Amino acid sequence: MALLTGVIASILLALNTLFCSVILFSLTLIKLLLPFPSARKALNPILVTVASGWIYGNSAWMHLTQRMDWQVNMPDSLSRDGWYFVICNHQSWVDILILQHTLNGRVPFLKFFLKQELIKVPIMGAAWWALDFPFMKRYSKAYLEKHPEKRGQDVETTRKACEKFRDMPTSVMNFLEGTRMSAAKYQRQQPPFQHLLKPKAGGMAFAMNAMGDQFKSVVDVTIHYPDGAPTFWEFLQGKMTRCVVHIDEKDIPAALRSGDYENDDDYRQQFQHWVQSLWQDKDQLLTELAAKHT
């Protein structure tokens, strides 16, 4: 039965993706051919509407194939007319579907920070590019030592990506841990948290530097899987029967809305301290949710 459920869910996901992609790519081609920037910008809301329709389609097949006990706690203050920076703990690829399912229609369309390599993903990579998702290319310290001319390019890439969002309300999404939680990664990092890996503040700080004055607030999402984080295939098979999603809206300190994270030591320390405090609160919440939903 689980295998059949997984096959049906996979087919519905593929059909929904294919249908929306055809419309999305057709509009993208028109956007590329339009000679005037104002005309191209006018297509952006339509592209976002198509992408939101894809999410509604995913929610539909999830309701059809999954017998899920959803427990979602969300503030009433969220709006589709504001700009938000969304953060979340990261345990599984399923997190993305859950974020889209719970926030679609309640905040502006989510645009994820993605690794540059993901632009090569068939179909989805092109869709993310068409929707102006910010692709990140971060350089290691060792690489920058050998190629100092690349220093600062990752910051500029983030800044340019975020500046595209000034024209229409957007939710910029970032998994601050930078990778999915696993026992091996936890053991390697030895983080000062019980349920989380160490957060990386750089991408968030660069986004604040680009458009911090425009962000209404931080939407802090915490996902708890009472029965353990599922793989994507386990989710499609309907083996995830419970999911707890806790959403908070948090103010952005005025002093952190703009600053030079790369070169200002005081600003960088203040920003990192703030992110650490957000993560400490999230870790405590996960402890409480684990005790409540056994």
119-132: pLDDT as tens digits: 777 767 777 777 77
Residue 236 lies in a domain: yes
12 assigned to some structural domain: no
Residue 127 maps to a domain: yes
Percent of the chain with pLDDT over 90: 54
Q: Is residue 77 part of a domain?
A: yes
Q: What is the dihedral of CA 163, 152, 87, 289, to 10 degrees?
A: 180
Q: What is the pTM of this model?
A: 0.88
Q: Please indicate, yes or no, if residue 9 is contained in any of the structural domains.
A: no
Total count of domains within the chain: 1
- Residue 115 falls inside a structural domain: yes
> Which CATH number goes with the domain that contains 116?
3.40.1130
Amino acid at 172: V
pLDDT at 116 over 80: no
Residue 149's pLDDT is 65
Q: Does residue 93 form part of some domain?
A: yes
Domain that residue 118 falls in = 68-292
